[in-house]
A and B are shown apart, each in its own frame.
Chain A
Amino acid sequence: MARNSLIRTADVKGALPVLLPFAPRGPAFDALFLVRWLGGIPAWLIALAALAVPVMALAQSGIGAESPFDKLLRWMPFLISKGFMFNILISFLAMALGTLVGALTGLALISRLAPLRWLAQAYVSFFRNAPWLVLLFIILLAFPFQITLFGHTVPLPGWVKTVIGLAFPLSANIAEVVRGAVQSVPTAQWEASESLGFSRRQTIWQIILPQCVKRMLPPWMNWYAILTMSTPLCSLLGVDEIISLTRQAMEAEGNRPELLMPFYSFALLLFLAYCYPIARFTLWLERRVAVKN
C-alpha cells in the first residue's frame, strides 16, 4: 500500500526542504475507505450500541409518562419493516442496475475504439463528480411519472426514479473499479494470451476479467455500503423510506424535541449495524486476495 508514500521527508542530511514537492498529509486515497473505517470498529461497540435503546427504555420506565425510548421501542417494528427494508430494497435494485451499467461502461473505458472510450470517460468523469442529491432531483423532475412502452402505460413512482438516480453515480464509480482491476492485471498476461493466439475479446473475457473478479469484489462492496448509507437521500424526494417514516413517527408522537436524538440515532444505528458485517466480510476478502497474490 502506498499509504506512507504521500508523506515525503528528506533522506539526505542538509537537503533543501524547498526542493521537496508539496504533499498533503494524511493517508492516501483508499478504494475501501468506508469499509476500512467501519470494519475497524470493534464488534462489542456495535453490540453495545444496539442494546442502548431497550436499556434506556428500561432505565427510564416507571417515571410515569412514557419515555422517548418507550415510544421508540413501540415504533421500532414499523420503522424497520416498512422503512429500513425499503432502503435495503432500493439499495439492491440500484446496485444491480449500477453494476450492470458500470460494467459495460468499464469495458467501454478500455475499448480500442477511441470515440467509445471518450464517451465513457466523459460519462464517468461527470457522474463520479456530480453531487448525488442534485442528480436525484434532476432525475425526479426530468423523468415523467409514467411511461408508455409498446402501448402499455407503466407508472414511474418516485422510488423507481430514485433507484435510477442512485444508479447513475454508482455506475460511474463501478466503471472505474472495473478499469482499475483490469489495469492491475500485469501486461504479461495480455502478451501470454496474445502469443497463444487469443483475440482481444477472448483475452478480456477469458483471461483478464476472471482474474479481476476477486480484485473487484472488495471495492464493489465498499460502494454497496456507500450506496446503502446514501439511500436516506430519497426521503427528500418523498419516498417513504426510514428517514421519512421516522419523521412521520415523531410527528405522530407530537413532534417533541426530546424525540429527535433517540429516533434519528436509531436510524443511524440501523445503517451502521447493517453495513458492519459487510465491512468485516469485505476486509476479510481483501486480506485473502492480498495473501494469494
Chain B
Amino acid sequence: MTPWTPDQPLVSIRNVHKSYGDIEVLKGISLDVMKGQVICIIGPSGSGKSTLIRCINALNDIQSGSILVEGQEVHDPKLDKLALRRKVGMVFQQYNLFPHKTALQNVMMAPIKVLKENRAEVEARARDLLKKVRLEGKENHYPGELSGGQQQRVAIARSLAMRPDVMLFDEVTAALDPETVKEVLVTIKDLAADGMTCILVTHEMGFAREVSDHVYFTDKGVIVEHGAPADFFGNAQDPRTRAFLDQVL
C-alpha cells in the first residue's frame, strides 16, 4: 500500500454497513474528509450519526465497507488501536471527564500514561490548552465544580492534548444550557480556524452553516443529500432534507 499523503482524504469512508443484531443502522455510507476540512453531519434522531462517528475511531465495529484514516484501515483486525487513537480525538455529548481528576490532570493524563511523554512538557502544553479553551484559573477544579460548558471545554482540551490529526464531535452542545452553548461553539470555531480537521454531529444549524465546509444530511442510515453549506441550506433538493430543515430552522 502506498503511504498516505496530505492530498488524499484524511478520513475516507466507503460503503460502510453496520448492524446492531438484526437492525441495520448504517446502510452504505461513503464520505471523504480532506485535511483541514470541517464537515457537519446532521439528521433526525436515530439516523445513525453517533454510530458512524464512533466507527471512525473503532469504538464500534462495522460489518462491511472500509474506513481509512490517513490511509490506514480502521477495521483491520491487526490495527494498532493506539496508533489510531493518537490520530483521532473524540468529544462526547456528556463530556465524560474523569471525575476523580482535576481539569489539569484530566488533560495531562493520557499524554503521560499512554504516550509516556515528559511530565513537565505535558503540563506546559496542558496549561496552554486550557488557556486556549478559555479556562485559565480553572486548572485545579474538579469536573463536579465546573459548569457543563466548562467541562465540555476541558474535554476538548483533553482530546487536543494527544495532538490528534482529526477531531470527532458528537453533539457536544446537546446537553448544555443555551447560555453555555456559545462558549463551546466558539472554542470549536477557533480550532477550525487553526486548521484542525473536524467531523461534527450537531443540531446547531446556524453553527453548521457558519463553520463547515460541507454538510451531510443522514436519514435512516443513508446519506440523503450533501453539499456546501450555502447550497445545502439555501437550496435543498430532497423532500426529506426539506422536511427536516423546515422542522429545525
A→B interface (CB under 8 Å): 186, 188-189, 191-199, 202, 206-207, 210-211, 292
Q: In the complex, which residue of chain B has the Cβ closest to the Cβ of A187? A: B96
Q: Nearest chain B CB to A27's CB is how many angstroms away?
A: 29
Closest residue of chain A to B95, judged by CB? A192
Which residues of A lie under 8 Å from residue B88 when comparing CB positions?
A: 195
Known A194-B59, A196-B85: A189·B98 in contact at CB below 8 Å = yes
Asked whether B113 lies within 8 Å of A195 as measured between CB atoms, the reply is no
Complex CA distance for A202 and B113, rounded to whole angstroms: 8
A203 CA / B94 CA spacing, docked (Å): 18
Q: Which residues of B contact A192 (CB under 8 A)?
A: 92, 96-98
A43 → chain B closest CB, angstroms: 32
Please indicate the chain A residues that have their CB under 8 angstroms from the CB of B82 in the complex: 197, 199
Chain A's interface: helix, strand, loop or mixed, by majority?
helix
Listed in ascending order, the chain B residues whose CB lies under 8 Å from chain A are: 57, 59, 81-82, 85-86, 88-90, 92, 94, 96-100, 109-110, 113-115, 144, 158-159, 162
**B residues within 8 A CB of A197?**
81-82, 85-86, 110, 114-115, 162
In the bound assembly, the distance between CA atoms of A210 and B98 in angstroms comes to 10
Contact check, B59 vs A198: say whether CB atoms are below 8 A apart. no
B49, chain A: closest CB distance, angstroms: 16
Q: Is the CB of B92 within 8 A of A206?
A: no
> What are some 18 contacts across the A-B interface (CB < 8 A)?
A188-B92, A188-B96, A189-B96, A192-B98, A193-B98, A194-B59, A195-B89, A196-B85, A196-B109, A196-B159, A196-B162, A197-B85, A197-B110, A198-B113, A206-B113, A207-B98, A211-B98, A211-B99
Residues from chain B with a CB closer than 8 A to the CB of A196 are: 85, 109-110, 114, 158-159, 162
B114 — which chain A residues lie within 8 A by C-beta?
Answer: 196-198, 202
Using CB atoms, name the residue of chain B closest to A207: B98
- Complex CA gap A206/B100 in Å reads 10
Task: List chain A residues, Cβ under 8 A from B97.
Answer: 192
Expressed in whole angstroms, the Cα–Cα distance for A206 and B59 within the complex equals 20
Contact A191/B92 with A197-B86, A197-B110 known, Cβ cut-off 8 Å = yes
Known: A195-B85, A202-B113. A211 touches B100 (CB 8 A): yes
Query: Which of B92, B97, B114 has the largest number of chain A CB atoms within 10 A?
Result: B114
A198 to B86, CA, bound (A): 10
Nearest-neighbour CB distance to chain B for A263, whole angstroms, equals: 49
Task: Name which residue of chain B comes closest to A210, CB basis.
Answer: B100
Q: Which of A188, A192, A211 has its CB near the most chain B CB atoms (within 10 A)?
A: A192
Kindly report which residue of chain A lies nearest to residue B114, judged by CB atoms. A197
> Would B144 and A292 count as touching, CB distance under 8 A?
yes
Nearest CB on B from A276, distance (A): 31
In the assembled complex, the CB of B153 is this many whole angstroms from the nearest CB of chain A, namely 15
The 5 nearest A-B residue pairs measured at CB: A192-B96, A197-B85, A196-B110, A197-B114, A195-B90
User: CA A197 – CA B90 in complex, angstroms?
Assistant: 11
Interface residue from A191, A202, A210, A292 paired with B96 (Cβ < 8 Å): A191
**Smallest beta-carbon distance B227→chain A, Å:** 30
